[in-house]
Amino acid sequence: MARMATNRRVAISTVGAWLAGFLIFFPILWMVLTSFKTELEAFAIPPSFLFFHWTTENYATVQERSDYIHHALNSIIIAGGSTLIALLIAIPAAWSMAFSPTKRTKDVLLWMLSTKMMPPVGVLVPIYLIWRDFGLLDSLTGLVIILCLGNLPIVIWMLFTYFKEIPKDILEAARMDGATIGRELIYVLTPMAIPGLASTLLLNLILAWNEAFWTLNLSTLNAAPLTVFIASYSSPEGLFWAKLSAASTLAIAPILVLGWFSQRQLVRGLTFGAVK
């Protein structure tokens, strides 16, 4: 009797969860399907769900029309560059606060967090003017700098929460054995910190890849990453849905895969350790 009730419960919740999951995922699925249709079929009513003439011509058109590869490379440089530089600055800082905390460490951490609370639009005007005067508008350097600064607090926080979980006794044991700080870093700390470093790297790549305030406002063509490339499809030009879908699929596919890998760290990173 009890067993039957459990089976029924599993069946009901399974059906419910799959239905909800499918509904939430549907817009993405629909976009991918549309990207393989011809423009006429993409616009057709009633829509065809699977039985249409599958074609990959939209993907070729997207590349010809607006040089997808150029913008994809920009996205890789901007997201990768800003994340790596942020890590280089954040690792020593987080290491220092996790292993040699002082009375003020907590205040410093909270202050760093508060810089992330500043709405970007509040400093849009000065940043735009400074960027203009230094010739940084529509340059990769300019976007790497701004995204690096914008994500630095999150990087430091994530690393700090990971570093704090490394048992201190191990470091002390290494120190007793006469290890210098350099050796301590390379042989003891690094291997234990790699999982935390990897998830910090992943989450920040995702955030930088999808950042769409500074990229839209500070770049137009040369340095434009995929967010801006997609925005160029906002003015309709004849039948363009299949092309829009193909461009969108290309823009989100790499980061969706990375995102699925890092989903378990997502909660921790985005709540600054407040929910684990």
Partner 1 sequence: MATRQTQLLARTLLTPAVALLFVWMIVPLALTIYFSTLHYNLLDGDTQQFVGLENFRYFLTDPAFLASLQNTLVLVGSVLGLTILLGIPLALLLDQPVIGRSFVRLMVIAPFFVMPTVSALVWKNLLMHPVSGLFAWIAKSFGLTPIDWFNDAPLFAIILIVTWQWLPFATLILLTALQSLDEEQKEAAEMDGARALSTFVYITLPHLARPITVVILIETIFLLTVFAEIFVTTGGGPGLQTTNIAFLIYSQALIQYDIGSASAGGLVAVVIANIVAFFLVRIVGRNLEA
Shorter beta-carbon distance to partner 1: residue 140 or 244: 244
Can you list the alpha helix ranges (DSSP code H) found in the chain?
Answer: 2-35, 39-43, 57-66, 68-99, 105-116, 124-133, 140-164, 168-176, 181-183, 190-210, 214-218, 226-231, 241-270
Rounded to a whole number of angstroms, the minimum distance from the CB of residue 37 to partner 1 is: 11
Shorter beta-carbon distance to partner 1: residue 111 or 187: 111
Provide the token pair at 151: 């994500």
Crossing angle of helices 140-164 and 190-210, in 10° steps, is 140
Nearest to 124 by CA among 191, 185, 184, 214: 214
Rounded to a whole number of angstroms, the minimum distance from the CB of residue 140 to partner 1 is: 18
Rounded to a whole number of angstroms, the minimum distance from the CB of residue 121 to partner 1 is: 4
Shorter beta-carbon distance to partner 1: residue 113 or 221: 113
Indicate the helix (H) or strand (E) that contains 104.
none
Q: How far is residue 240's CA from residue 97's CA, in Å, rounded to a whole number?
A: 52
Shorter beta-carbon distance to partner 1: residue 198 or 266: 266
Q: How far is residue 28's CA from residue 44's CA, in Å, rounded to a whole number?
A: 19
Shorter beta-carbon distance to partner 1: residue 17 or 60: 17
Rounded to a whole number of angstroms, the minimum distance from the CB of residue 275 to partner 1 is: 5
Report how far Cα 186 is from the mean position of its chain's Cα atoms: 28
Rounded to a whole number of angstroms, the minimum distance from the CB of residue 187 to partner 1 is: 17
